[in-house]
Structure 1
Amino acid sequence: MQKTSSKTLYQYWNLLRGARSAPERRDIDPTAIREALAYTFILEAEETTGYSFRLAGSHLCTAYCRELKGRSFTKLWDERDADAMDTLVRAVTEDHAVALVTFQGTTAVNTRTQFETILLPLRHNGSTHARILGATTALDEPYWLGVQPILEQRITGLRLIWPDDITSDLGSDVDVAANVSGEPPYSVPGMSAIPSQVFGRSARRYAHLSVIDGGRQ
């Protein structure tokens, strides 16, 4: 995690969850994450449109030059990444993994900058499918950010931290990585991950992403 907002939210989420796979929505106290609040969002599951923003921080809305509350999170992503985001969200909501995504945001005049997004499972009325807690922060803040809205975003990399690997020590490197290269096929090979080999190591396929299982040494 490169940004303070991601680290702050992750640490708070990890503290709240305790021995659970995810904390309850009602456990969240906005004052406890005031430093990250402007970058923080909560997603709500919609029956027909995937996930939409239930809440969105001011800095996040500024990057898109519009209020995000009620807008679709799912539709922000380039259609070539739609399948990958769908399976990634399933890893968060069904497997209770933490997802760290980097993506390139592009404006109408082709200016670009990199962002970091963290997605965390969140329980709502006992279910982890209804809500997702997250934060999105620009890795750099060019002068035009907040004036030229982000209109397109493409995934450039991700990390999935599985429940057994989650640790409050952010200094330790959890050996879970994703290989994203070239223009891969954007098809979903079923909802469950499919075993494969990447660089001679056991991996699972999530759309075009090869998630390599490792472990702390």
Structure 2
Amino acid sequence: MSNDDGQDRGAMLSPDATQDRPGKLLRLADYEPVQMDRILGELRGYWEGLRQGRAIPNRADVAPRGIRRALDYAFILERIAPGAARFRLAGRHLIDLMGMEVRGMPLCAFLNTSSRGRLSDVLESVFFAPQIAEIVLGSPASYGRPALDGRMLLLPLRSDLGDVTRALGCLVVQGQVGESPRRFDLLSDIEFPVIPGAKVVEPSPSPPGFAETPMRWKSAPPPKPIAPLPQDASPAERRARFRVVSNDPPSKPPGELQ
């Protein structure tokens, strides 16, 4: 590398950054604040462009080069059960929030347990209606974890089989991540129809499931007491009350190999 190249590289960093000790990790987010509206708007605009007259675009139409500026915040979900989906792909921002690779993890891993039921309802409405959902998230401050504000966008996609079991989305968070993993409370959500003017399907509450009161366990009725034998019982009657139990292995039929 020439000397001019070195001067240009140094000019890209702030004066404070050039004085940092060697090996310190620099994040672009430290110098350029995250713009939630821009990222969510670009991803939704990209999804709208993929439709080409269709209600729902196909998963195969999504290309990373089309969402370069939102790629770190984007993800693709696969529906695995009613109200449940896992990450097929996820950007670097989500990995930073969780502190680990998130591919294969369920989407609910990013939410606190008290908010997962509502997330499940919203997620199922995205796949079932189908429709678009935008979620407002918040994570209160705690030791080593500054407060965070975030937003999530969910956009339905068709799989290769033609069913709506995929979703393109993004998760954008403002603030210092601090200690990972970071989990959020679902503060509010709003749904939009995929076709302007269509009716919005409100997310229906999930069934109580394990929260239901368990049924009382009923034991089997006690066996009826056996009447005592009379004094003048015959030997046959007495033998009927006994059963021979043997620990010897059963005999094998003649001709069978031992």
- TM-score by length of structure 2 reads 0.59
Q: Distance in 1 between matches of 2:195 and 2:148?
A: 33
Further displaced range: 44-53 or 62-71? 44-53
- The equivalent residue for 1:136 is 171
Question: Within 2, Cα distance between the matches of 1:7 and 1:159?
Answer: 15
Three-state SS of the structure 1 residue aligned to 2:158 is: strand
Q: Of the candidates 42, 53, 59, which is equivalent to residue 76 of structure 2?
A: 42
Residue of structure 1 equivalent to 2:156: 121
* 1:90 positional shift: 1.6
Name the SS of the counterpart of 2:57 in structure 1: coil
Question: 2:164, 2:76 → 1: CA distance?
Answer: 12
Measure how far apart 1:45 and its partner are.
2.2
Task: Tell me which structure has the larger Cα radius of gyration.
Answer: 2
Q: How much does 1:49 deviate?
A: 9.0
Which structure exhibits the higher relative contact order, with contacts defined as CA atoms closer than 8 Å and separated by 6 or more residues? 1
The one-letter code matched in structure 1 to 2:190 is R
Over the matched positions of the two proteins, sequence identity in percent amounts to: 24
Aligned AA (1:60): L
- Between structures 1 and 2, the one with greater strand share: 1
Matches of 2:61 and 2:47 in 1, distance apart?
10
SS where residue 60 of structure 2 aligns?
helix
Alignment check: 8 A CA contact 2:147 2:175 kept = no
Give 1:12-91 correspondences, 5 Å limit. Answer: 12-47=46-81, 50-91=84-125
CA RMSD of aligned residues (A): 2.6
Compared CA separation, residues 49 and 96, structure 1 to 2 (3 A): closer
Q: 1:5 to 1:37 in 2, by over 3 A?
A: same
- 8 Å CA contact retained: 1:3, 1:116: no
SS at match of 2:105: coil
Aligned length: 168
- 1:49–1:156 CA distance, 2 compared to 1 (3 A): closer
Q: Does 2:162 match 1:164? A: no
Name the TM-score, length of structure 1 as normaliser: 0.69
- Give the unaligned 5+ runs of structure 1: 167-175, 177-192, 194-203, 209-217
CA contact (8 A) 2:140 2:147 kept: yes
Cα distance, 1:206–1:150 mapped onto 2, change above 3 Å: farther
Give the residue type in structure 2 aligned to 1:127.
D
C-alpha contact (below 8 Å) 1:108/1:151 kept by paired residues? no
**Superposed CA offset, 1:137-173 (max 9, x none):** 11x223xx2x41143311112221112328xxxxxxx
- The AA in structure 1 aligned to 2:164 is T
